[in-house]
Amino acid sequence: MAFPSPAQNYTENRINLNDLLRLSPHSHYLMKCGQDYPLAGILKGALLIIDRALTPKDTNIVIAEINGGLELRRLHLHNLASLVSLKVEHDVLRIKQDEPLPIWGIVSYSINDLAGIGFNHSESTT
């Protein structure tokens, strides 16, 4: 007859990012950031998790469709809606009241690569 381990009550579950982030294959997209955005704390190479199902709220960081391309911007909804650049402090795109918001998705998470090793890094066994 075996006795239970005294450490059995002290075991911890490992963190599962799928459970923690609750990602949906229907509304979430992953993008790798190509530039630094110091005003948002996002570094070049960061993994951005974009949610297309969220309703935009004031001060959200969004992916906006501007001039046929996608840009990272901060959404401001007070008075007139505007999309503020995260690179240049005074670059603001104002949205007229009768125009729809040009929002492709909302950045729900940003994972920065602080060690500079990249997200596809695997240690060599040689």
CATH of the domain at 79: 2.10.109.10
pTM of the shown model: 0.75
User: pLDDT value at position 89?
Assistant: 67
In a domain, residue 99? The reply is yes
User: pLDDT value at position 103?
Assistant: 94
Q: What are the CA-CA distances from residue 65 to residues 5, 31, 73, 86, 88 (Å)?
A: 57, 15, 10, 15, 18
Burial class (CB in 10 A: 0-12, 13-18, 19+), 31: middle
pLDDT truncated to tens, each residue of the chain (126 aa)? Answer: 676 766 666 667 788 877 788 788 888 999 999 999 988 999 999 999 999 999 999 999 999 998 899 999 999 998 888 888 887 666 888 888 888 889 999 999 999 988 888 777 555 444
Question: What is the span of the domain harbouring residue 102?
Answer: 24-111
Distance of CA 10 to the CA centre of its chain: 34
In a domain, residue 118? The reply is no
Domain count, the chain: 1
User: pLDDT value at position 78?
Assistant: 84
